[in-house]
Structure 1
Amino acid sequence: MPRTTLALTSFVSGEFSPKMDGRTDFEKYNSGAKTLENFLVHPQGAATRRVGTQFIAEVKSSAAKTRLIPFEFSTTQTYILEFGNTYIRFFKDKGQILDSGNPYEISSPYLTAELFDIKFAQSADVMYITHPNHEVMKLSRTGHTSWTLAQVDFTDGPYLATNSSTTTLTPAQAATGSNINITASAVTGINSGAGFQTTDVGRIISFNSGKAKITARSSTTVVACTITTAFTNTNATEAFNLGAFSDTTGHPSCVSFFEQRLVFAGTTDEPQTLFFSKAGDYENMTTGTNADDAMVYTIASNQVNAIRYMKAVRTLVVGTTGGEFTVSADGTDASITPTNITIKRQSSFGSANVDAIPAGNAILFLQKAKRKIRELQYNFDSDGYQAPDLTILNETVTDTGINEMSYQQEPGSNIWCVRDDGVLACLTYQRSENVIAWSRHIFGGVFGNGKSVCESVASISGVLTEDEVWVIVKRTINGATKRFVECFSDFDFDETSPTSFKFLDSHLSYSGSGTTTLSGLAHLEGQTVSVLGDGATHANKVVNGSGQITLDRSVTSACVGLPYDSILQTMRIEGGAAEGTSQGKTKRISKVVLRLFETVGVKVGPSLTNLETIPFRTTSSLLSNPVDTLLSGDKEIEFNDDYNSDGFIFIKQDQPLPCSILAIYPTLVTSDG
């Protein structure tokens, strides 16, 4: 029976699919894991227990699903916006913005069912928001409690193609004014032969060098208008243009900035058409042939390719239901103009209706089935874009479907993905170091008979070394459905003070004079909570009817919240044998050396039902005191395992304490008999 010691020195390949169980020949096999739950992977290789979430506020109505959207004016002026049913609320500095003691709120046109189809693009203190059912909106900020959401009033355009039928339009007067009738000679050429509709109210019409906005519809051939630019005469004319954006034809479904232009795309009637503003004049859609004029271009293809997202990198990347395209100036580095614009297909995977994410030099987008995330990036060798599958090593991590993604650049370059089943999947992504590592994150608490449900995620810049990750989590609290806005505590790898640990979800913190009563926990009414007091664990408590818990001993600092488990399971150990591989052969792990970083309270074993608690205290240490020094170094554990053919190693942290695994060194014997 050969005896050998292995070195599992990295987890940069993340959680593997069960389909990878037999790939011991794969170069990344020993840097992968069978389970990575509530562990984050660092690009350097370590696996660290994720931090907990701080409770910020309950959403306005826990009966309705809500969405978080980031708003960043600068690195210090960053906000999280709670979009709910016809309202927006605001958060900053890990707190809710209040006005006279109440949550500051403005109204919006977006219904609950529309929230996750919203797309947006921001420039300074202005965010442009699109949804196919609504006019393009502009959200403006002038102060913490001074926000305005208004329809964009375009200077001119954009328009559909000029009427090519014999139908004419005649205005009742040429001068500017309101409630002026415009009469069509027929319905042909208007709304595909249906004539004017009530949904045309708000639509613009251009002819005879003038412009009017429809304010009422009398019949299929007569509309009342406000003439905003005088017509040259009242002559009947066939040369008229109807506005491209309306409730009849649909409004843009996505928006982006590109080369000093604001670009809209994806209306209902023109799903594969892009509308570029004038250069430097975002709300002016006047087309022409001058270099700075607005442009309207339709992607040419043999099938309808509805545009799902647009993102600006070295070119404008356009994701559609049928493929991925780039917009550039004749393939050169020049700026696009009405005379040099070129649109080229780069791949044919197709995109889901979920906004893509710029990450480094790549665009990460969700394939149309919502189960694969692809990395669209320019490749100099092929002089084109390639889109490899980032879920190839773990297709199960997204197989329930993804409905939202957010990018946290610092400190670990993480892509957070909300799954349809409420699990928050995380991709540690650093292409330059070939780090593509998936992990899964399940929040403390329950919803119904299952686990808590994550419904939305958003990231904003925080301090210089950390971006803030915000979530909305749905739980059953005291028999009722609750949706909470929460924010991850700082992802601080180097936490040395026990009183700063925040490894509980929906937690609140206390600091002050010594006390045994902690209050203000009404959001966790009736829940069993864990407590870390003065850096030491306390007995679990149930929050009573007044939002309080009573501890067994006094504390001056505490963190109270819902517990969660962090679990790491290795792949099947491959240690070789006298006759080749150790796979399928009887083996026994006799001991394991864990190389840890600032860790305390870990359990290790061959299964989740057979775990050994690693001692971090001496016999003279008081259990009511925190561990004096967190362990950064090696810890040898006698492994309580029987002979078997798998050789799994499980590491579990279920206390509100830190755990970082740098490497695992198992010693095992393998039988060739």
Structure 2
Amino acid sequence: MARAAPAIRSLNAGEQSPLMDGRTDTNNYPASSRKMYNTVAAPQGPAIPRSGTEFINSVYKHNESSTIIPFIPTEDDFYMLEFANGRMRVFTEVGVLTYAPVAMTVTDDSPFKFDSATLGANIGDEVAFSLFPDTYNLNGVVGKIVGKVGTVYEMDISHPALPLLATAKVSRVYHIDSPYVLADLDALVDIPSLDVVYLVNGKKKTYKLKRNNTYDWAFEEVAWSDGPYMATNEEKTLLTPSATGKATPDMTADNLPSGYVASGSSFFTGQEYYKAFDDPDAKTYWQSNTDQTGTLQIELPSAIVADGYSLRMAINNSNSTFISKDYAPLNFTFEGSNNGSTWDILDRQNTYVVWDNNKSLFFRIPNVTAYKYYRIVIDSVQTNGAVKPCLRGLVIRSTASTSMTITASSTTGINNNAGFKSTDVGRFIRMKADDGSWRALKITAYTNSTTVTATLLGEPFPNLRGTDKWRLGLWSETTGYPATGVFFQDRLWLGGPSDWIAATVVGAYENMAPTDDDGAVQDTSGICVRLNARKLSKIRWMVGVKRGLAVGTGSQEFIAVASNNTSTTKNITPGNITVEDCSARGSSETQPAPVDSQVLYVQRGGRTMREFAYSYEADNYKSPSMSILASHLGVSPFTQLAYAAEPYSIVWVRRKDGGLVGLTYNRDENVIGWHRHGFQDEFVERIAVMPSSDQMQDVLWMIIRRTIDGQTRRYIEKLTRFWDFGMTLNDAHFVDCGLRYEGDPIDEVYGLQHLEGREVYGVADTVPVGPFTVNDGMITLNQAASNIVIGLGFDSEGETSCLENGAQDGTAQGKIKRFNAFAVKVWESYGGEIGTMNEDTGEVEYVPLAEHYKNQDTSLLETIELFTGILGPITPAPGYEKSGSVFYRRKKDVPLPFNIVSLLPRMVTQDGG
């Protein structure tokens, strides 16, 4: 029989799977646990009981689920957004956002009624109360208006203690209508950028939510200006426009067709004004009769709003001294007038030299005024000297001239040869005309499988010839919409539908144009590529990492990088992108949690968390399992991740069964520790993390579905601060769905309607109280107190792994053991219990520790004070066992901190069996 006094110095390896019970050879076995429930594995080593939750508010409708999304535009400005069925509410750290409060007077307490002449609310609105005496615990309470007579409002709550004619304040809860309904919420992904958050879910068009000021939030459908597009058509199908999109017809004389008059400063013999507006295939042109300068004007039958123009260069040049470009304008203005004498400059170009494809760029102008006259005024041309300006075309686009019909010669190549569909409305088309430039259009109406109506978005067509060089837009009701996204390298990247990746123009987050207006692909142009996958699989998530863009799909994980990655070309561009496969684990739809240089994601089946991290040895990204030591925790799939950096670096994980687990994750210190959490066996429906205002903790917010008084209730709750340095017993909050009262001493605690009929516990002036049963939203204490927290009680508990100590003959596993005594090193603690297993009864026998808390002079504490030091010696219940594990717990009736730094048992192990 060998004696041993092992030290369990750390518990930060967390709860491990029963499959690991025999692996005493692993490095983290001594710090592991067989159970860690409602207890956090602190990265430094201790086991810390999780704090309780604070009740914030009910969701918008108890019978419908909501989701919560953090909105964090700056490091000290943050909100939590609740998305309900067609509605969004805004929460600050202390509660729901409301308008300025107005005066009210109580007229009835059951049901609660009040009179307010200036509230201006309607039935169905929500209101919040303030400036009631603290004893009523009504301040911050939110209720719905269910009746209204004049200025008297009836609420959906009661408060039997309210005196009639009591005065206070009431304010309307701020909300806005949302485009998202219940079916949209599960897959909703947010992509934040300062005061704007882009929202995708794979089912709807992309929306953005913008905060203009405190009471001005708005949803807008993103108005993509161009792109993205699928691959260029490779079939023989032609797309033909019914109109060019220009505001003027092909003219045959300076005053024909009737109503149109071409004129100007002068023209060279045979090169009249109208020849800049005639059939472009004629290759005729207008030429000024003055060196370097000239004016070309068009009078229209009626005023139009011109929103863009371009110039076409004369190309039918027989001069042996000058080339065609020499005659093109260099400095010029585009102007509008309604009387032909007073002109407004709409656009000015100085030293303009880009004449690719024998034409200028298309100049978009921010004009909203209708003019009857337009003109181009040329101040100089490309070459100095006796050179007279020439123009083959002045092409003006009007907002009224952009609608046209697009006709396909067949359905081949369109929607898998099915042709156009009604679900293509809203989809982009990109067509390359015979002048070498691409035009973008947006489908506005469906006629049949070969005919749609579309709006021209850019430069008019040069003619009405069909083209087989065309691309269909990537996103539509036909093909689907983005399912995920991220900001990376000053682009908005969106993933989906299927295995497509699209990125915006650099710095222009609502433009995915693949080229400039002249058709040139720039480094800043939009990007649209398909993954080079072995099988077709949907993109699940995207995260920017140091070396590139990490992409998870249902079958593989990829990294998109710059093909030529040097110090000067490290950014991805349309011509400098390679997508490399990294692992073939496959990802679930759960959005990942980026942590430093790693990305934690959930494998396809939902039961394994993996770490996407760069390996210098492999010179590639790898995906080792973070769940291999605790695989049992994924028996119900992981459905949501939320990372809280402060104070313990925890990845919170919501499971499909409504459970919550946490992963203490500190790669620098090689800490990987899992822990389980429960909320009275009730269902966690959503999680999100938002910093606290003091930056001391990244706070876990949850929507928890509870059963209250026989009814289903959904509450928004947040985890209170973990026990930390500088806290006192008055800060203790180890109850769930709790509320705190601070004020004059009271013995009747109100405001607990959200826990009606439930058994509650709490702390009153540092003393544990309870249990109580909530009746009519209140409980009565045995003694008045001024600092009270009341809520649902919960136990925090754990069991260490089986100790491998004391054997002189091989392993200690499977041998009879007996614990003779314990010492427990604690930090700022009170209460708690230590236990051992009675293998005869199958029960854990606990020993309370309260009597071991002592002052420095070794006398027992007369009042509750927090203690830091070693408790013991503690004599356990007598008995023998084979497992040799140590149990600990903080019971719900003592909701105070019990922080275990180390466990110091004394034991004997019988080698003889």
Q: Shorter-chain TM-score category? A: over 0.9
Aligned to 1:423: 659
Equivalent pair of 2:558/2:581 in contact (CA under 8 Å): yes
SS of residue matched to 2:184: helix
1:581 aligned residue (808, 811, 822): 811
Counterpart of 2:410 in structure 1: which amino acid?
A: A
Distance 1:228 1:103 in 2: 41
SS of residue matched to 1:539: strand
SS of residue matched to 2:186: helix
Counterpart of 2:659 in structure 1: which amino acid?
A: V
- The aligned runs of 1:499-510 (5 Å cut-off) are 499-510=730-741
Distance 2:189 2:865 in 1: 50
- The aligned runs of 1:366-377 (5 Å cut-off) are 366-377=602-613
1:645 aligned residue (868, 879, 882): 882
- The aligned runs of 1:374-385 (5 Å cut-off) are 374-385=610-621
- How far off is 1:618 after superposition? 8.1
- How far off is 1:24 after superposition? 2.0
Aligned to 1:458: 688
- How far off is 1:166 after superposition? 3.2
Q: Which stretch shifts more, 659-668 or 206-215?
A: 206-215
- The aligned runs of 1:19-98 (5 Å cut-off) are 19-98=19-98
Distance 2:737 2:828 in 1: 24
Aligned to 2:104: none
Counterpart of 1:510 in structure 2: which amino acid?
A: Y
Distance 1:246 1:91, change over 3 A: same
- How far off is 1:85 after superposition? 2.3
- How far off is 1:421 after superposition? 1.3
SS of residue matched to 1:117: coil
Distance 1:179 1:298 in 2: 32
Equivalent pair of 1:363/1:376 in contact (CA under 8 Å): yes
Distance 1:618 1:631 in 2: 9
- How far off is 1:6 after superposition? 0.9
SS of residue matched to 2:448: coil
Distance 1:149 1:514 in 2: 47
Aligned to 2:362: none
Equivalent pair of 1:536/1:624 in contact (CA under 8 Å): no
Q: Give deviations 1:241-261, integer Å, cap 9, x for gaps.
A: 322111111111111111111
Distance 1:197 1:129 in 2: 26
- How far off is 1:470 after superposition? 0.6
Distance 1:3 1:85, change over 3 A: same
- How far off is 1:578 after superposition? 2.9
- Give 5+ residue unaligned stretches, structure 2: 101-170, 246-398, 516-520, 838-842
Asked whether 1:549 is paired with 2:784, we answer no
Equivalent pair of 1:273/1:296 in contact (CA under 8 Å): yes
Q: Give deviations 1:478-512, integer Å, cap 9, x for gaps.
A: 11111111111112323542111011101000011
Distance 1:202 1:579, change over 3 A: same
Distance 1:133 1:174 in 2: 34
Distance 2:782 2:469 in 1: 83
Equivalent pair of 1:170/1:235 in contact (CA under 8 Å): yes
Aligned to 1:448: none
Equivalent pair of 1:498/1:626 in contact (CA under 8 Å): no
Asked whether 1:332 is paired with 2:565, we answer yes
Asked whether 1:291 is paired with 2:540, we answer no
Aligned to 2:350: none
Q: Give deviations 1:417-472, integer Å, cap 9, x for gaps.
A: 0011111110000011110000001013xxxxxx1111111112222231121111
2:197 aligned residue (103, 127, 134): 127
Q: Which stretch shifts more, 487-496 or 142-151?
A: 487-496
Aligned to 2:10: 10
Equivalent pair of 1:21/1:571 in contact (CA under 8 Å): yes
Q: Which stretch shifts more, 276-285 or 199-208?
A: 199-208
- How far off is 1:66 after superposition? 2.1
Q: Which stretch shifts more, 281-290 or 1-10?
A: 281-290
Distance 2:642 2:854 in 1: 47
Distance 1:196 1:626 in 2: 80
Asked whether 1:434 is paired with 2:670, we answer yes
Counterpart of 2:661 in structure 1: which amino acid?
A: A
Counterpart of 1:193 in structure 2: which amino acid?
A: N
Q: Give deviations 1:34-76, integer Å, cap 9, x for gaps.
A: 1000001111101100000100011112222222211111111
Equivalent pair of 2:852/2:871 in contact (CA under 8 Å): no
Q: Give deviations 1:271-293, integer Å, cap 9, x for gaps.
A: 11211211122211111432111
Distance 1:29 1:163 in 2: 60
- The aligned runs of 1:534-613 (5 Å cut-off) are 534-545=765-776, 547-607=777-837, 609-613=844-848
Q: Which stretch shifts more, 338-347 or 175-184?
A: 175-184
Equivalent pair of 2:492/2:509 in contact (CA under 8 Å): yes
- How far off is 1:609 after superposition? 4.4
Larger Rg computed on CA atoms:
2
- How far off is 1:617 after superposition? 7.7
- The aligned runs of 1:600-639 (5 Å cut-off) are 600-607=830-837, 609-616=844-851, 627-639=864-876
SS of residue matched to 1:544: coil
Equivalent pair of 1:496/1:630 in contact (CA under 8 Å): no
- Give 5+ residue unaligned stretches, structure 1: 445-450
- How far off is 1:556 after superposition? 0.6
- How far off is 1:214 after superposition? 2.4
Counterpart of 2:23 in structure 1: which amino acid?
A: R
Counterpart of 1:216 in structure 2: which amino acid?
A: A
Equivalent pair of 1:530/1:560 in contact (CA under 8 Å): yes
Distance 1:311 1:26, change over 3 A: same
- How far off is 1:121 after superposition? 1.6
Asked whether 1:185 is paired with 2:409, we answer yes
Aligned to 1:447: none
Distance 1:629 1:599 in 2: 5
1:493 aligned residue (724, 746, 756): 724
Aligned to 1:317: 550
Distance 1:399 1:239, change over 3 A: same
SS of residue matched to 1:236: coil
- How far off is 1:572 after superposition? 1.5
Aligned to 1:239: 469
Aligned to 2:263: none
Distance 1:624 1:668, change over 3 A: closer
TM-score where L is the length of structure 2: 0.70
- How far off is 1:539 after superposition? 2.4
Counterpart of 2:229 in structure 1: which amino acid?
A: Y
Aligned to 1:219: 448
Equivalent pair of 1:11/1:41 in contact (CA under 8 Å): yes
Counterpart of 1:325 in structure 2: which amino acid?
A: F
SS of residue matched to 1:199: helix
1:140 aligned residue (202, 206, 210): 210
TM-score where L is the length of structure 1: 0.94
Distance 1:598 1:256 in 2: 43
Counterpart of 2:845 in structure 1: which amino acid?
A: N
Distance 1:574 1:619, change over 3 A: closer
Distance 2:228 2:16 in 1: 49
Equivalent pair of 2:799/2:887 in contact (CA under 8 Å): yes
Aligned length: 661
Distance 1:346 1:648, change over 3 A: same
- How far off is 1:610 after superposition? 1.9
Distance 1:179 1:278 in 2: 26
- How far off is 1:626 after superposition? 5.3
Counterpart of 2:558 in structure 1: which amino acid?
A: F
SS of residue matched to 1:281: coil
The runs of 4+ residues in structure 1 deviating greater than 4 Å are 616-620, 623-626
Q: Give deviations 1:546-598, integer Å, cap 9, x for gaps.
A: x1111111011100100111011111122132323222121110111110011
- How far off is 1:399 after superposition? 2.0
Equivalent pair of 1:600/1:616 in contact (CA under 8 Å): no
SS of residue matched to 1:652: strand
Distance 1:636 1:404 in 2: 44
- How far off is 1:373 after superposition? 0.7
SS of residue matched to 1:229: coil
Q: Which stretch shifts more, 33-42 or 22-31?
A: 22-31
SS of residue matched to 1:186: coil
- How far off is 1:215 after superposition? 2.6
Aligned to 1:520: 751
Q: Give deviations 1:84-104, integer Å, cap 9, x for gaps.
A: 223222211231112463432
Equivalent pair of 1:616/1:627 in contact (CA under 8 Å): no
Identity of aligned residues (%): 34
2:580 aligned residue (344, 352, 359): 344
Q: Which stretch shifts more, 663-672 or 103-112?
A: 103-112
- How far off is 1:528 after superposition? 0.9
